[in-house]
Structure 1
Amino acid sequence: MTAATTGAAILATAREQVLERGVGLSREQVLSVLRLGDAHLSDLLALAHEVRMRWCGPEVEVEGIVSVKTGGCPEDCHFCSQSGRFPTPVRSAWLDIPGLVKAAAETAATGATEFCIVAAVRGPDARLLAQVRDGIAAIRESGNDIQIACSLGMLTQAQVDELVAMGVHRYNHNLETARSHFANVVTTHTWQERWETLGMVREAGMEVCCGGIIGMGESDEQRAEFAEQLAELDPHEVPMNFLIPQAGTPYEHYEVVEGRDALRVVAAFRLAMPRTMLRFAGGRELTLGDLGAEQGMLGGINAIIVGNYLTNLGRPAQQDLDMLTELRMPVKALSDTL
C-alpha cells in the first residue's frame, strides 16, 4: 500500500468514526494523523473543519486575558519568562483594581464574552484571592456582565470553593504537555498535582479550561499521548499554544514550530476531541502568520484569544474580528455562555 493510499485510508476511517459517529480518535489514530504527509494536509484540515461544524457549530467564542500578577513566579516552567528562577527581562508587578476594570471593559468592547484573570504563581495566597475578589466585584459594579475566568495556578479545595463563591465560571489550568514529557518541562511540581486541581474544579461545577504548548521538544508520540490525556479529562475548552522562545529561559533557542506541523496538530486534536472548544492562544501569530490563523479557523479551531497575551503581543483584536466576519463565523453571544 502506498503512502497516498495509506493516508487516504486514515482520513476515511477518521471521517466515518469522528464526523459520522462523533467518536474521537485514539492515541494510535492521532499519531497516524500527525504523521500524514503534506500532500494530505488540505484534506485533513477540511475534515477537521467539517467535524467542528457538525459537533460544535459555526460560532466562535472570543476571549481576552489580563495578568493581575506578572513575573516573580517560584516555579521553573522552562518555557516561561515569568519564572523568577531565570534571568528574563520580566519583573514582578501587580495590576490594580482600576486597571482590571479597564481591561475587562476593553475586552468586552471587542465583543468578547470571556475575560480571564491570570497570575504568575504556584497557587494563590490570601492577597491574590482578595485582589481577584475585589476586582470581580468592581467589574460587576461597573455594569460589565462579561463572563469571568481565572488562571491562578494549583488550588486547594477551600480556594476552589472561594472562586465559585466569587462567581468565577471557568478555571484555566494547563497540563502543558504529555505526562511522559512533563518532567523535562517543569521540575518544581508534578503533572499529577495539576491533574488534581482540575479534578476539584470540575467537581465544584466550574468549567474546565486545560490545554498546553506545542513545540517544547515533545515527540509526535507524546503529542498523541497528550491528545489522549486531554480527551480523557474532557475539558470544556482546550487552549492551543505554540512555543514562543523567551530570552533567558531554557527554551530560548528552541525553533518555532513549522506552520504546517502546527496546523496538523490542531486538526489532530480536533479529531481527538470533536465536541471540545479548541482555542487559538499564544504563539499562533509567530508560528502561523496571518494566513495561518485563517487556515486554523477552517481546520478545527472554534475559539480565539484576541489582543495581547501575558508577556507577548498578539494581533490587534479588530483584525481577528474582521477575519471572523470574512469567514462568516458569528461571535458567540454572551447570553449563550450563561
Structure 2
Amino acid sequence: MASILDHARITVLEQGVGLTQAGILEVLQLPDDEIEAALQLAHEVRMRWCGPEVEVEGIVSLKTGGCPEDCHFCSQSGLFSSPVRSVWLDIPSLVEAAKQTAATGASEFCIVAAVRGPDAKLMKQMRDGVAAIKAAVDINVAASLGMLTQEQVDDLVSMGVHRYNHNLETCQSYFPNVVSTHTWEERWTTLKMVRESGMEVCCGGIIGLGETLEQRAEFAAQLAQLQPHEVPLNFLNPRPGTPLGDRPVMDPKDALRAIAAFRLALPKTILRYAGGREITLGDLGTRDGLLGGINAVIVGNYLTTLGRPATADLELLQELKMPVKALSATL
C-alpha cells in the first residue's frame, strides 16, 4: 500500500492540492525515521508552489499587557500573575521600530496590541502610527488588534493596513480548553470580515498547547478551509504565571513533523516561523524547518519573549541560498 508521502507527492507536489485532515494526521504520526523524508517533500512542495524567497517580518507591540482575555498561554493577560503589565508605545518609538525592521531587509512590519478588540483610543493610535510610518519608511504595515467590528475593518483598510493577523490559536474542538472569555467562532467571524475587505488574512496558532495529534490535524485542516495568505506557526514557550506555564516544551521531532504536515496541508500559503522556535528547535532545528516547508520568518524579538538576533536568521538564509523577498514582490 502506498504511504502517505507517496500519496502527497502526487496530490500536493504535482497537483497543489493540500492533504485532507486524515492525511495530515498520518504525517503527524510518521515514525522518526520518516521525518527527514517528510521534510524533504515539504521543501519540494514549498519550492514548487511558493518559490525560494523568504518573507521577513518584524513585529512591535503598540499596547503590551493588561489584556482582559484569559488565553491560557499568554503572559499579557491581566487575569494572571505573569509579570507583563500594561504599557503603551508612543508614535516616535513605533516609527523607529519600523525603521529598524526595514533596515534588516524585512518587507513587513506588524503592529500588535494586547486587547480583546480595539477601542477608539487604540484606533486613533493606529491611524496616527500608520500615517507616521508610511511617511518615514517604505514598508508594508500589518496589524493584530484582536476581534473587530465591520467599521473597524473598514477603518484599517482606509489607513492602508494591507494584512491583518488574528490567530485561531488551535482547533475548534480544543479551543475551550485554552480560552474561556470568547469563542473560536468569534475569531472566525473577524477573519471572514477581514477576507471580504480585501486585506490579506494572516492566521495561525500555537502547537503544543496540550492538543492531541488528531486535534492538531483538525487545526491544520481548518486553516486550509480558511485559506489564509499566511500562517504563523508558533510552538508553546511556557510563560511563568500562566495556566500553561508548567507545560513541557514540545519534542523537537514532533515540531518538525508539524512543520511538514502544515506545509502539506497548505501548499501555496506563506508558512512563517514565529514564537517558540528557538526554545523548541534551536539553531539546527531552525535550519531543518527552513529546509522543510517554512518560507517566512519573524526576525528579532517577539511580544514578550526573546528571539534569535535578526542577523543570525539573515545569515542562515544567505547560507541556504534563500533570497529575502523584496518589498516590491509583496505589493
Distance in structure 1 (CA, Å) of the matches to 2:229 and 2:192? 13
Q: Which residue of 2 aligns with 1:3?
A: none
RMSD: 0.7
Q: Which amino acid aligns with 2:92?
A: P
After TM superposition, the structure 1 = structure 2 runs for residues 283-322 of structure 1, keeping only pairs within 5 Å, are 283-322=276-315
Cα deviation, residue 56, structure 1: 0.4
Query: Could you list the per-position Cα deviations for residues 109-133 of structure 1 after superposition, in whole angstroms to 9, with x for gaps in the alignment?
Result: 0000000000000000000011111
Distance in structure 2 (CA, Å) of the matches to 1:268 and 1:185? 22
Cα deviation, residue 141, structure 1: 2.0
Q: Which residue of 2 aligns with 1:146?
A: 139
Q: Which residue of 2 aligns with 1:273?
A: 266
Deviating more after overlay: 156-165 vs 13-22: 13-22
Q: Which residue of 2 aligns with 1:101?
A: 95
Q: Which residue of 1 aligns with 2:131?
A: 137
Does 2:58 correspond to 1:64?
Answer: yes
Instruction: Choose which of 35, 41, 44 in structure 1 pairs with 2:35.
Output: 41
After TM superposition, the structure 1 = structure 2 runs for residues 196-211 of structure 1, keeping only pairs within 5 Å, are 196-211=189-204
Cα deviation, residue 282, structure 1: 0.1
After TM superposition, the structure 1 = structure 2 runs for residues 148-167 of structure 1, keeping only pairs within 5 Å, are 148-167=141-160
Cα deviation, residue 140, structure 1: 1.8
Query: 1:208 is paired with a residue of what secondary structure?
Result: strand
Does 2:227 correspond to 1:234?
Answer: yes
Q: Which residue of 2 aligns with 1:86?
A: 80
Query: Could you list the per-position Cα deviations for residues 258-307 of structure 1 after superposition, in whole angstroms to 9, with x for gaps in the alignment?
Result: 11110100100000010000000000000000011110000000000000
Q: Which amino acid aligns with 2:115?
A: V
Q: Which residue of 2 aligns with 1:282?
A: 275
Q: Which residue of 1 aligns with 2:170?
A: 177
Query: 1:265 is paired with a residue of what secondary structure?
Result: helix
Distance in structure 2 (CA, Å) of the matches to 1:24 and 1:141? 40
Does 2:331 correspond to 1:334?
Answer: no
Instruction: Choose which of 4, 7, 12 in structure 1 pairs with 2:6.
Output: 12
Cα deviation, residue 96, structure 1: 0.2
Distance in structure 1 (CA, Å) of the matches to 2:329 and 2:103? 17
Q: Which residue of 2 aligns with 1:248?
A: 241
Q: Which amino acid aligns with 1:138?
A: A
Distance in structure 2 (CA, Å) of the matches to 1:207 and 1:258? 32
Q: Which amino acid aligns with 2:213?
A: D
Distance in structure 2 (CA, Å) of the matches to 1:149 and 1:45? 30
Distance in structure 2 (CA, Å) of the matches to 1:43 and 1:91? 45
Distance in structure 2 (CA, Å) of the matches to 1:10 and 1:84? 44
Does 2:265 correspond to 1:260?
Answer: no
Query: 1:39 is paired with a residue of what secondary structure?
Result: helix
Cα deviation, residue 137, structure 1: 1.1
Distance in structure 2 (CA, Å) of the matches to 1:249 and 1:57? 39
Distance in structure 1 (CA, Å) of the matches to 2:257 and 2:233? 12
Q: Percent identity?
A: 71
Distance in structure 1 (CA, Å) of the matches to 2:198 and 2:7? 35
Any unmatched runs of 5+ in structure 1?
Answer: 1-5
Query: Could you list the per-position Cα deviations for residues 65-111 of structure 1 after superposition, in whole angstroms to 9, with x for gaps in the alignment?
Result: 00000000000000000000000110100000011000000000000
Query: Could you list the per-position Cα deviations for residues 194-220 of structure 1 after superposition, in whole angstroms to 9, with x for gaps in the alignment?
Result: 000000000000000000000100000
Does 2:71 correspond to 1:77?
Answer: yes
Q: Which residue of 1 aligns with 2:121?
A: 127
Query: Could you list the per-position Cα deviations for residues 170-190 of structure 1 after superposition, in whole angstroms to 9, with x for gaps in the alignment?
Result: 000000000000000000000
Instruction: Choose which of 31, 41, 52 in structure 1 pairs with 2:46.
Output: 52
Q: Which runs of 4+ in 1 moved over 2 A?
A: none
Cα deviation, residue 61, structure 1: 0.2
Query: 2:233 is paired with a residue of what secondary structure?
Result: strand
Q: Which residue of 2 aligns with 1:117?
A: 111
Cα deviation, residue 162, structure 1: 0.3
Distance in structure 2 (CA, Å) of the matches to 1:136 and 1:324? 29
Distance in structure 2 (CA, Å) of the matches to 1:323 and 1:11? 28
Distance in structure 2 (CA, Å) of the matches to 1:219 and 1:39? 21
Any unmatched runs of 5+ in structure 2?
Answer: none
Does 2:22 correspond to 1:28?
Answer: yes
Distance in structure 1 (CA, Å) of the matches to 2:147 and 2:133? 24
